[in-house]
Structures are given as C-alpha cells and as structure tokens.
Amino acid sequence: MSSTRTVIAQGTFDILHPGHVHYLEEAAAMGDELYVIVARKANVDHKAKPICPATQRRDVVDALEAVDEAILGHEEDIFVPIEEIEPDVIALGHDQHHDDEAIEAELERRGIDCVVERASAREPKRDDELLSTRLIVERILERRG
C-alpha cells in the first residue's frame, strides 16, 4: 500500500512572479500532492496588505501546474486548514517571515505530525528580473506613478 506524501505551501501571492513559481515547484517536489494556502488580507500583518482580492490570488495560484489545489486561509486561525489537510510537510519560502520553531511547536501542540522545510532561494536569471512583489510595485510606481 502506497501512501501519498502531502505538502502545504502558503503565502500572499499578491502579484505572481518567478520567485513564487520556484517556491511552489520546490514545494511540490517535496511530496506527491501540493496544497497552497493563500493568505487572507486580514492575516497579512508583516508587510503591505495585498492589492488583489484573495479569491483572485487563489485562482491564479490554483492555475499553476505544480499546484494540486489552492485554498483560502482561515481568517481567525491560520492552522485550521493545516489541521484539515493533515500534511506530511509544510514548505516555507526561503525568505518567509515565519519562525520555524514556533510553527513546529504549534503543530506539536495540536497533534499535527509533519515536518517544516524551507525552499531554496532563486536568484534572478537576468539583471532586470523582479522576484518580489515589493520590487514589482516599486517599478510600476517609478514608471507609471
């Protein structure tokens, strides 16, 4: 009997860029099924609030080949979808602000048996390639603002 290795990735994914694609492809390679939790605006408190609506961000992430299913995060408790999916791996982006040990402690407290792994960084392939939403927004403002 084969068991499916389930991976969860998560993020805001406001303006999708090659760094996001790299992260999600690496996350998908950590297992057999990749679920992506797209953050609700109310849960984004470590950077500027997203520009695009949550459902739009979810739908764009869901369209990526590496993603089996994209879902919206829970508005009050970010661990609710993790409890429902029961992943084997939580894949964090290389630069995500999360405290790995705090996440592991909360998973253990809730009886969720999974590991936390970090994806690698992706370096720009060209000098003009933008791998962050913040840099894309800055370029838009510089050129069109």
Annotated binding site: 12-13, 17-20, 95
Residue 106 DSSP SS3: helix
Residue numbers in the known binding site for ATP are: 12-13, 17-20, 95
Long-range contacts for 40-49 (Cβ within 8 Å, ≥24 apart)?
A: 40/72, 40/73, 40/74, 40/75, 42/75, 43/73, 43/75, 43/78, 44/12, 46/97, 47/12, 47/134, 48/134, 48/137
43-68 in b/e burial notation, b at 16+ Cβ within 10 A? Answer: bbeeeeebebebeebbebbeebebbb
Q: Are 37 and 8 in contact (CB under 8 A)?
A: yes
